[in-house]
Amino acid sequence: MTVAIHIDDVSMTYVSPKATNHVLEKVSYEVEEHHFVSIVGPSGVGKTTLLRLLTGLMKPSGGQIVVDGKAIDGPPEGLAVVLQDYTRSLMPWLTVEKNIALPLVRQKLSKEERRSRIASSLEEVGLTGNEKKYPWQLSGGMQQRVSIARALATRPSILIMDEPFASVDAQTRFGLEDLVLKVRDDFGITTLMVTHDIDEAVYLSDEIIVLHGKPAQVIDQIEVELEFPRTQLDTRNNPRFTELRTRVYEKVQGL
């Protein structure tokens, strides 16, 4: 087993002149390379705070996070992020291809390599032919596919997703979930996702981490023993899917 991410006794406390807010308390777990892990818990428990710590945008009050063997002190190399609100993460005045090209500037690629990555990423998410369109000309689901394509273009080893499908309708969500499973198979990226949707967590994940309490701690690590490949009909109708969903729900509720 190769560990891609090691979270060791991470705590997070916000201090202001008026109050002290203990959000996370000694959160520890390991994420295996190429695995898909979902983080669930009650609203406001600190899931997004944990993701921000993982991206290196904030430093924990205690403990450390190690990515690919290195303790992070800022955004780690090889990490990409897909956010919930694609309307804010995509630049409306840039075309699809120019939005995808944005993070590639730092990588100092040749024009040929940059074009190749943009084309292959759009093909991966099923948007070939939309290079010259602007985000506002696309549906919500298509815009989120552009966000995923932009992340893939950097060739990340780790993908962080914060409620990536919360802003789309149910039918579009199912399509994006299946897209994420395809990306997982094609690229083998280690993925961490925060979600409020328990069914989504069970459908996509190898493992589910449940946070609970004030401050939040890991109260359960649930292995999702469902075979791949997964499909919306067969997997969700599997009795084991229902059992796992019930267990996760009970843990989220603190039962």
Residue 24 lies in a domain: no
Residue type, 80: A
Residue 144 lies in a domain: yes
At which of 130, 155, 180 does a domain end? 155
Q: Same domain for 137 and 214?
A: no
What is the maximum alpha-carbon separation in the chain?
A: 55
Query: What is the helix (H) or strand (E) element at residue 193, kind and residue range?
Result: strand 190-194
pLDDT on residue 87: 79
Report, as an integer, the average pLDDT of 96-114: 91
pLDDT on residue 34: 93
**Tokens linked to 65:** 């996070």
Nearest to 184 by CA among 210, 152, 221, 225: 152
Q: Same domain for 125 and 139?
A: yes
Under 8 Å between Cβ of 88 and 145: no
Q: Same domain for 51 and 172?
A: yes
Q: Say yes or no to pLDDT of 1 above 80.
A: no
- Crossing angle between the packed helical segments 111-124 and 140-153, to the nearest 10 degrees: 140
231: left (phi over 0), alpha (psi -120 to 50) or beta: beta
**3-state SS class at 223:** strand
Q: Same domain for 129 and 228?
A: no
Q: Same domain for 144 and 173?
A: no
In the sheet that holds 3-15, the strands lie side by side as: 20-32, 3-15, 62-67, 70-71
Dist CA 141 CA 104 (whole Å): 23
242: left (phi over 0), alpha (psi -120 to 50) or beta: alpha
User: Domain count of the chain?
Assistant: 2
Report, as an integer, the average pLDDT of 171-184: 92
Q: Say yes or no to pLDDT of 249 above 90.
A: yes
Q: Say yes or no to pLDDT of 215 above 90.
A: yes
At which of 155, 187, 213 does a domain end? 155
Query: What is the helix (H) or strand (E) element at residue 203, kind and residue range?
Result: helix 198-204
- Global confidence as pTM: 0.92
Q: pLDDT digits over 134-147, tens only?
A: 999 999 999 999 99
Report, as an integer, the average pLDDT of 48-61: 92
Residue 217 lies in a domain: yes
Q: Same domain for 176 and 238?
A: yes
Report, as an integer, the average pLDDT of 79-107: 90
Nearest to 228 by CA among 193, 188, 168: 188
Q: Same domain for 143 and 199?
A: no
Residue 13 Cα to chain centre, angstroms: 23
Q: pLDDT over 70 for what percent of the chain?
A: 100
pLDDT on residue 143: 94
Summary mean pLDDT of the chain: 93
**Tokens linked to 217:** 């701690």
Q: Same domain for 74 and 175?
A: yes
Q: Say yes or no to pLDDT of 167 above 90.
A: no
Range of the domain at 141: 88-155
